[in-house]
Amino acid sequence: MDVLSNVAPTGVTTIATDSTVCSNIAFNLSSSYTGSTSGQAYQWQVSTDAGTTWNDIVGSTAITATGVTQTAASSYRIGISQCSGTVEYSSPLAVTLNPYQDCYCTPTYSSGTTYGDLISNVQIVGTTLSNNSGFVAGTPQYVNYTSNTALTAELLPSTSYTVNVSTGEWGSQGFAAWIDYNDDGAFTTSSNPLLNERIGYTTGTIGSGYTPGSINAYASFTVTLACTPPAGAHRMRVRCAYATSGVNIDPCANYGYGETEDYLITIQAAPSCPNPGLMTVPTASTNANDVTLSWLMGCSTASNFDFEYGPAGFTQGTGTTVSNAAATLSVTGDTATYVLTGLNSLTDYSIYYRANCGTGDYSAWSVVTNFTTAPSCFPPSAVTVSNVTTSGATVAWTANPLSPSANYQYLLSQTNTTPANGVVAGTVDVTSTGVTLTGLTSMTTYYMWVRSDCGSGDRSVWTSVATIAVNPCMPTYTS
């Protein structure tokens, strides 16, 4: 009969696949023990204070430990027991942590900038970062500007910035940007806002085709910083890749054509009144004289907001302000709405907004949002021609139910070109939705447009054209 002892092996040493690793990069542990495993139990342990205190690694109960990660320098050992006897530990092994600056992946491309697929400019509007690196093809596909103190930006948490970029000679470039908030040497893209380090990307790609001798495309995209990222200096990566939508760009993967630029930016302390998220461009909800504004709450917990609006492209400080307006929050709690009234119809507007946290505490102003109000005067529809004679015709139309016309105006022309505010041939009282035309020339084609006149100079656009082919004058005989 073979009786197992309950004495565990001694003199075992710890082995690791890496003696120095980057944060959160997996490695494996094993030991020098090569004897029988019959009757043995194992528990791997970790120490972050050079072996003074040890903690079990949860779930690591096999003779080897795989997929181990660390975020600080640590020591490891395995406890081996034999038939529930005394646990013997292997000699501890220290695994050091590489400086995070040495842990960034080098982004690669098969062809890089050879044919002009590159980043020729990166500018964060409102900051000092503006880097025109030129559009000459064949320059390095990865440029690390982190040691260039002239190419940096001070950025605020919870804040959105407009990033202006331009391409080289080739278009169809997607762009994306990340900040390594936690300085672990990795850029994490996550749907969890607490983990996500991707700050923005282009919708689809920008530019198209090949424009030898000139930049192919200029574009902007918005980046938004996390609510409370750690203050201080962090690495920012901006990457472009040919024929790859911005949302799909990975910070490390290999692509065919493109360029990557790294920068060192500084994040300031989180503001006491965090910024709200981005506004949705108002479209369907736009009326003639008011607009329903809708924006994400983002990092903000305010319930009151300030607005400044004016003609499209107005300079901030010269617009019309609405202060301390209470927003309505949607059921989900992450979308706020406010109805801005007193607008002019069919007008292009720009608007900025900020959270008003009370007692003079405000967030920063948002990036600009542009919208256009709807017209207030609508054209009639269904213009029909009937009863055509040798000198006239009847033209009828259907009134627009939304448009309280004062009267209708019509324009007649022998040329089929859409009229501007040209010569009005006649007016028709609002109580009528048609006109009988007389005195037309036989065998002639006329073109006619109708519009609503809503009074006080407020007129609709013209209807689409109606064609009137006046009949030829036939000879008549009495016998």
CB of 77: closest distance to Ca ion in angstroms? Answer: 29
Measured CA to CA, the distance from residue 238 to residue 249 in angstroms comes to 10
Measured CA to CA, the distance from residue 358 to residue 288 in angstroms comes to 32
133 contributes a contact to Ca ion by CB under 5 A: yes
Please identify, using beta-carbon distances, which residue of 116 and 274 lies nearer to Ca ion.
116
CA angle 73/63/23 to nearest 5° reads 25
Please identify, using beta-carbon distances, which residue of 266 and 467 lies nearer to Ca ion.
266
CB of 196: closest distance to Ca ion in angstroms? Answer: 10
Instruction: Characterize the bridge pairing of strands 160-167 and 119-124.
Output: antiparallel
- Please tell me the number of Cα atoms within 13 Å of 96 on its side-chain side: 4
CB of 243: closest distance to Ca ion in angstroms? Answer: 18
In this chain, which of 97, 119, 179, 355 binds Ca ion, going by CB under 5 A? Answer: 119
From residue 275, alpha-carbon distances to 64, 176, 224 in Å are: 49, 22, 10
Six token digits for residue 94: 């220290």
CB of 222: closest distance to Ca ion in angstroms? Answer: 21
Work out the number of other CB atoms within 10 angstroms of the CB of residue 408: 25
CB of 261: closest distance to Ca ion in angstroms? Answer: 6
Please identify, using beta-carbon distances, which residue of 169 and 180 lies nearer to Ca ion.
180
220 contributes a contact to Ca ion by CB under 5 A: no
206 contributes a contact to Ca ion by CB under 5 A: no
Measured CA to CA, the distance from residue 57 to residue 46 in angstroms comes to 6
CA angle 199/207/252 to nearest 5° reads 40
Measured CA to CA, the distance from residue 131 to residue 135 in angstroms comes to 12
CB of 163: closest distance to Ca ion in angstroms? Answer: 14
DSSP bridge pairs for 466: 448
21 contributes a contact to Ca ion by CB under 5 A: no
236 contributes a contact to Ca ion by CB under 5 A: no
Count of residues in contact with Ca ion, rule CB under 5 A: 6
Please give the span between the terminal C-alpha atoms of the chain, in angstroms, as a whole number.
Answer: 141
Q: Per-residue string for binding with Ca ion, 161-200, x by CB under 5 A?
A: -------------------x-x-x-x--------------
Please identify, using beta-carbon distances, which residue of 92 and 116 lies nearer to Ca ion.
116
31 contributes a contact to Ca ion by CB under 5 A: no
CB of 242: closest distance to Ca ion in angstroms? Answer: 14
Please identify, using beta-carbon distances, which residue of 168 and 282 lies nearer to Ca ion.
168
117 contributes a contact to Ca ion by CB under 5 A: no
Helix H or strand E segment including 415: none
Residues at the site binding Ca ion, with contacts judged by CB under 5 A: 119, 133, 180, 182, 184, 186
